[in-house]
A and B are shown apart, each in its own frame.
Chain A
């Protein structure tokens, strides 16, 4: 048994070593079935209910970085080099952690099944924010569903957990340091393989060698292939350890995002430059999903209801694609060919995402339309980039998700109003053109005719906002 095949992570201060792991065994299965550590629960096995939430600590440039993740869709090898904290980790010597005692004191549990997940999301909040407001609490808990309490007592606990004497987390950076690896993790198990390359060159070489391999990033979709579709993944190449694909940098011209950067790492830089994308990214999944999921994964997966792509298209983002040592750049607008079909060639992967920095004269905005504010999949996602010149439309780009087999631009609409005055009549012209651009379908998220009406109304809303400076949404109103 070589070191390169052994998963090592910290649990309750001890280094856990796992040899010959099944690469698609989930962290939750490992906890519940192998360790019989039954505190973490399975509520959905798809990362949408949060009953399985655990916290993972990872070394980063600033020290140790704590994040809540959904253990039900995380594969065990992704823990390598990290610390895992579960609900059982918190109570020290039988004394409840302040998060736990606040939940008891505020009657924050009823049936209790979601509670371990809430405790862990609250714990991540406790460790990363010392004075959260309601908005911070909502955001931190948006990936946790409770069916009993109606959330009021849990929110009260989230405020109250700071009133007890602060309990500091033991510093485990030395232990974490000790389990970092020089050479990459490579597991072979019953004819299946898992690679966790450490740099982009190794990643590219492996994918060139195994062009049919499954690229695993955050696992927020691939995890479901296993838990829901029971697919057997023969070869997996994990992006999570590829240091030079996880960076987010700003150059003179671009925001340059490594495809393996998590959404949590990428979003602050994006919205700093494009504040019009803030609400969309707030509504983009939940913290546990954003902590694992990557922008590159959202793009490469290419779902027609992916949230990021419309915004990236209107700012004319480009993708750096790489096969072996060869790179090429393609506009995101040209990347998707058809439903779940893209321009990637065998062995080729999305290496980086390049968003041009905003120009002063352009207004960029993205909207999401769904049944629920938090953690919902878009029925429609829109994005606009508007440049006016003397009250006339100098340049207009609009892209939509949820209206066609891929996220794509509304070219008829764009053309129809370019050069026209930015006025209500022009918007009505655009609304007519939208019906030529898109022939949406009916599904569980919305029916075809209302989808068309909704996208027209979203455009009308964008117009109203541009005219009035700002129009509050139901989500900002009264808060």
Chain B
């Protein structure tokens, strides 16, 4: 081409910049609207749910006369009011919206009441007179295994010959360990508001990670076609997986109440009801049996995992599958068996939570690794390195995916050095020899987390970009914003595609009427998929603008350059807005959709083999703790993290994900204890009794770094990597640091269960005393 070479116009790239969250200025002023903040229709009714008080019972007469007679009550809804399907189960239809003849957990919805105020609805919901015939309840996973009570069949994955490898190994150790669940504790509880529209249509504002699924389930429940239901979510006040499948229950109830009353209906769960009624991270009982050699190399390993799924399948199938996929973490396990039980218990149906089974699988292998080290009297660091996946060999997972992007050795090398791990470990040993009450401990743990939905079909995303005549842009895609910064990241991508300032872009709410059939914003995939889809949409429009500009200014397309809010066409430079105006006048279409499907992935669930993951995200953490041997109280002292975000789209946002994920993980493994009594009633159903970390729990010395100059080898959006879930598992280092602190020569491998509450730590110390 004969175009003259001119210096490119300069504009700082939005991608890669630490731009604040798009709503930060709204958050801090209280002007960010969550579902409960939206203007309310004048005829709005408030809904409350009447719940089962028993864990397992046949239901006789449901007498709602007192409910109906209560002040302010307009109407009630029960199962027989449902004209469509009485189910909100996303995969298997075993999740009734309202129980009919059987209740299966304390807190299961039986009916809803719509009243003129929130208080009136909630008061009335307690006035039902329900006849129960109590049945025996199964309240823990081990009891379920014993009674073969499962929501889904148990699954087994075998590679190599684990039995003989373990039997012939020079060393062998086995253990049973209990790993607690976790409540998502999003600060904004579940909520939905349904507003009737003309001709039988329904508009629903829902705090959901999955508007499409809410749309489909409302359609099924209310017996409408999907095109009569619109679901919108601008933002959630946190979700963490808790609003992936179970937001549909709340939205369906609001929709049913709206249909029954013909009025707008809002259901906002009280915090206690939210925690009792909706699912959490699965707690696991983990058994393992591992054979290893003198160097700590694992020769064979056998896992048996029993998870509490609760009363229905919900997402428990894929959650437990991912637990099976994560039992390797960063280690090559040539001879392995994983037996996974998906236990049906008379407790709330457990669901997605950041990591989605991955944390539990990694917890299992990391515990085994630590035990090997403690049995051999070696630093667990050496055992980890001994077993890491190789780059060109020893690089095949138990599900037969070849790992092509392994950087765990590099991360470990850098972190061991930057954290001064070895010297600190020596200092700690010296400190512990001198002190009998306070003990310190340290641990380094890796994370390798597979990115993609394991169900291949979910790996698709759509976006919709509009350019208006004044040169401003509206951006929409199927992803939802729950605080993770997805919306600003995708806006950065679009800003760079047009080479305009990001404030020219209006980010809009996830809306099923704009982008249909969107997958849940889950599996850490939000930016990867929606960023790519939005880029494609923007690129389509830019291509049209380029074609137009070339024609308009009579220059070759190669001479059209978008930069710095301007467009240069040969010797002509016009503002971006001016070009858009010209293009509109020339009848150039200024709106486009974009679609993306993740390449390369394939997976056969029958054989547990294939390439379920497009790539892996890596990271590692060193945590040092201090533990009081008398009280079991503990605190993190110093944290060093090195995490792989590829080439970060927004390092400030990604840093926030890494830091927040780590702290949330520490909460899971230390203070957050879910406690049920022997009637299956959850005792820890509010922040007074369920303790997530507070400000003072953050380590006084907290050093978090993102890996630099580290592009994703796969062709992801600007070579970035997903970051939502992986950092949570960095917190495994905190748990093992605590275990390190309470181990000594008389008890090198204490029997510590998670969460490591003061009570669990005292129990472990006490057990070691009696060994």
Please give the residue numbers on chain A whose beta carbons come within 8 Å of chain B beta carbons, in ascending order.
32, 38-46, 48-49, 51, 86-88, 90-91, 96, 99-101, 103-105, 107-116, 119, 134, 137-139, 141-142, 144-155, 228, 230, 369-377, 379, 443-447, 450, 453-454, 457-458, 460-461, 464, 471-475, 477-479
Given A145-B687, A147-B238, A44 contacting B630 (CB threshold 8 A): no
| The one of B25, B238, B696 that contacts A96, using a Cβ cutoff of 8 Å | B25
B659 contacts A457, CB within 8 Å? Answer: no
Point out the residues of chain B lying under 8 angstroms from A443, CB to CB. Answer: 675, 677, 683
Contact (Cβ within 8 A) B627 A111: no
Interface contact A110-B485, CB-CB below 8 Å: yes
* Assembled-state Cα–Cα distance A141/B673 (Å): 22
B339 proximal to A (CB < 8 A): no
Q: Which residue of A lies closest to B485 (CB)?
A: A110
Closest to A90 in B: B29
Determine if A44 and B271 form an interchain contact, defined as CB atoms under 8 angstroms apart. yes
Measured CA separation A146–B656 after assembly (Å): 12
18 contacts between A and B (CB under 8 A): A87-B29, A99-B28, A109-B21, A111-B239, A112-B27, A112-B235, A113-B238, A137-B695, A139-B696, A147-B664, A148-B660, A154-B695, A372-B671, A443-B683, A447-B759, A453-B766, A457-B631, A460-B630
- Indicate whether A107 sits within 8 Å of B20 (C-beta atoms), given known contacts A96-B28, A150-B662: yes
Select from chain A the residue with minimum beta-carbon distance to B32: A112
Which 4 residue pairs of A and B lie closest in terms of their CB atoms, listed nearest first? Answer: A39-B30, A111-B483, A113-B237, A112-B27
Q: Does B33 contact A (CB under 8 A)?
A: yes
Q: Which of B184-192, B377-385, B709-717 contacts A (4 or more CB under 8 A)?
A: B184-192
* Residues in B whose Cβ lies below 8 Å from that of A114: 187, 237
| CB-based contact B673/A371 at 8 Å | yes
Q: Chain B nearest CB: distance from A372 CB in Å?
A: 4
Q: How far is the CA of A151 from the CA of B663 in the complex (A)?
A: 9
Known contacts A110-B485, A371-B757: A48-B695 contact under CB 8 Å: no
User: Are B686 and A44 within 8 A (Cβ)?
Assistant: yes
Query: Complex formed: what's the CA distance from A144 to B686 in Å?
Result: 14
- B185 contacts which chain A residues (CB < 8 A)? 145, 147
| B611 CB within 8 Å of chain A | no
Known: A46-B688, A230-B126, A374-B695. A147 touches B240 (CB 8 A): yes
In the complex, B609 has a CB within 8 A of chain A? no
Closest A residue to B28 by beta carbon equals: A100
Taking the closest CB of chain A, its distance from the CB of B119, in whole angstroms, is 7
Contacts of B700 in A (CB 8 A): 134, 478-479
Flag if A230 contacts B633 (CB, 8 Å): no
- B240 & A88 in contact (Cβ 8 Å cutoff): no
* A contact residues around B688 at 8 Å (CB): 44, 46, 48, 377
Which residues of chain A are near B677, meaning CB under 8 Å? Answer: 443
Given contacts A39-B30, A107-B20, 15 further A-B contacts (CB under 8 A): A39-B29, A39-B31, A45-B271, A46-B271, A90-B29, A111-B482, A112-B235, A113-B187, A116-B28, A148-B660, A153-B659, A371-B671, A372-B671, A447-B759, A477-B637
| Chain B residues near A453 (CB-CB < 8 A) | 762, 766
Least CB distance, B671 to chain A, in whole angstroms: 5
Contacts of B698 in A (CB 8 A): 150-152, 155
- Pick the contact of B21: A40, A99, A107, A454 (CB < 8 A): A107
Please, which residues of chain B bring their CB within 8 A of the CB of A147?
Answer: 184-187, 238, 240, 660, 664, 692
Q: Which of B29, B485, B687 is A91 in contact with, Cβ under 8 Å? A: B29
Evaluate whether A141 and B26 lie within 8 angstroms (CB atoms) in the complex, with A46-B271, A147-B185, A457-B762 already known: no
Flag if B483 contacts A110 (CB, 8 Å): yes
In the complex, A87→B409 CA distance in Å?
A: 47
| Residue among A91, A112, A152 making CB contact with B702, cutoff 8 Å | A152
- Residue on B with the closest CB to A44? B271
Complex contacts, A150 vs chain B, CB 8 Å? 659-664, 693, 698
Does B687 contact A48, Cβ atoms closer than 8 Å?
yes
In the complex, A478→B699 CA distance in Å? 10
Known: A110-B484, A152-B659. A374 touches B696 (CB 8 A): yes
* Inter-chain contact A138/B637, CB cutoff 8 Å: no
* SS of A interface (majority): loop
A369 to B632, CA, bound (A): 9
> Once the chains are docked, how many angstroms separate the CA of A479 from the CA of B21?
32
Q: Is B270 an interface residue (CB 8 A)?
A: yes
User: Which of A153, A228, A371, A377 is close to B272, meaning CB atoms less than 8 Å apart?
Assistant: A228
* Beta-carbon contact of B660 and A88 below 8 Å: no
| 8 Å CB contact of B697 from A373, A379, A454 | A373
B572 within 8 A of A: no
Whole-angstrom distance between the alpha carbons of A88 and B688 in the complex?
A: 28
Nearest-neighbour CB distance to chain A for B606, whole angstroms, equals 38
Is B483 in contact with A148, judged by CB distance below 8 angstroms? Answer: yes
**In the complex the two chains form, what is the Cα distance from A479 to B696 in whole Å?**
11
- Knowing A137-B695, A369-B631, A478-B626, the reply to whether A96 touches B437 (Cβ < 8 A) is no
A residues near B661, Cβ cutoff 8 Å: 150
When chains A and B are docked, how far (Å) is the Cα of A375 from the Cα of B689?
A: 10
Chain A residue with the shortest CB-CB distance to B674: A444
B758 adjacent to chain A (CB < 8 Å): yes
Please, which residue of chain A has its CB at the minimum distance from the CB of B239?
A111
- Chain A neighbourhood of B687, CB < 8 A: 43-44, 46, 48-49, 145
- Give the contacting residue for B188; candidates A32, A110, A113, A479; CB below 8 A: A113
The yes or no answer to B260 lying at the interface (CB within 8 A) is no
Whether a CB of chain A sits under 8 angstroms from the CB of B37 is: yes
* B762 partner, pick from A152, A450, A474, beta carbons under 8 A: A450
Also in contact, A376 and B691, with CB within 8 A (given A107-B24, A107-B652, A111-B482): yes
**When chains A and B are docked, how far (Å) is the Cα of A341 from the Cα of B476?**
60
Q: Looking at B188, B484, B634, which has the most chain A CB atoms within 10 Å of its CB?
A: B188
Tell whether B719 is near chain A: CB-to-CB under 8 Å. no
Given contacts A371-B671, A474-B634, contact A112 B37 (CB under 8 A): no
- Which of B630, B692, B696, B697 is close to A458, meaning CB atoms less than 8 Å apart? B630
Task: Say how far B279's CB is from chain A's closest CB, in angstroms.
Answer: 17
Q: How far is the CB of A81 from chain B (nearest CB, A)?
A: 25
Chain A residues within 8 Å of B627, by CB: 474
Do the beta carbons of B633 and A450 come within 8 Å of each other?
Answer: no
B30→A454 contact, CB < 8 A:
no
